[in-house]
Structure 1
Amino acid sequence: MPTDKEASRIWRGRIRDILNGQWDPIGGCPADEYDGYVGTIAAMVRDNATDAALIKYLEWAESVHMGFGRFDPERARTVIASIRALGTAP
């Protein structure tokens, strides 16, 4: 059985995979492109942030931080549902 630290690393890795596979607003980036967002999203989920708060964070990441003028809230909802499906944070 993995330790809490190992379980957390695995869980965060799964969040990373979801961001790369389902969110990916830039498109076809290296595997580490969205690593800077994993920690915040993991903390938000761990702290029981609402879906609306997570959507707002993803919107900020795309629209402000990355500078894209577009944002797809439906894609964000799908990403959040996938992250929630991972279960509670270790």
Structure 2
Amino acid sequence: MSAADQKTLKDAAMADIRLVEEILRRWDPIGVEPGIVAPADEYDSYAPHIVSMAKSGCTVKALAAHLEHLGSDTMGLGSSNELSRSHSLKFAAEILVALQPSNNSLKSDAAKPRTLG
């Protein structure tokens, strides 16, 4: 693999991580409003593993369970309830849709400069 191909893959992986970081800021299970009340990178450390799970083909339920685990166990919020499960399912689905290859190509196409004919 050429150096250019490696850079392209690395750039794509970083774009996926940044996308998930943005979604996690809205997920905000502890209500700290990253970037307002708490540091903007409050949940960023979770993004690489979430991207890895998504790229490995996990289901919405599996990703939602991971998000619930992050909230209840990692962040110490206690056992999840129906509201937190619903919240986790919503954001898990959003993450998986956002990371679909067809969505990534649309994002990269949108970032390309347009030329007038």
Report the TM-score, using the length of structure 1 for normalisation. Answer: 0.85
Match of 1:12 among 10, 17, 22: 17
Distance 1:81 1:54 in 2: 8
Matches within 5 A, 1:27-46: 27=31, 28-29=33-34, 30-46=39-55
Q: Secondary structure at the match of 1:3?
A: helix
- Deviation track 1:22-54 (CA, whole Å, cap 9, x = no partner) reads x10122132211112101111100100122211
Identical counterparts, % of pairs:
34
Q: TM-score, normalised by structure 2?
A: 0.67
Gap runs ≥5 in structure 1:
none
**Unaligned runs of at least 5 residues, structure 2:** 1-6, 106-117
Q: CA–CA distance in 2 between the matches of 1:33 and 1:17? A: 11
Q: What is the aligned-residue RMSD (CA, Å)?
A: 2.0
**SS in structure 2 at match of 1:26:** coil
Q: The residue matched to 2:42 in structure 1 has which SS?
A: coil
Rg comparison, structure with higher value: 2
Task: Compare relative contact order (CA 8 Å, sep 6+) and give the higher one, 1 or 2.
Answer: 1
Q: How many residues align?
A: 88
Map of 1:42-61 to 2, 5 A cutoff? 42-61=51-70
Match of 2:97 in 1: 85
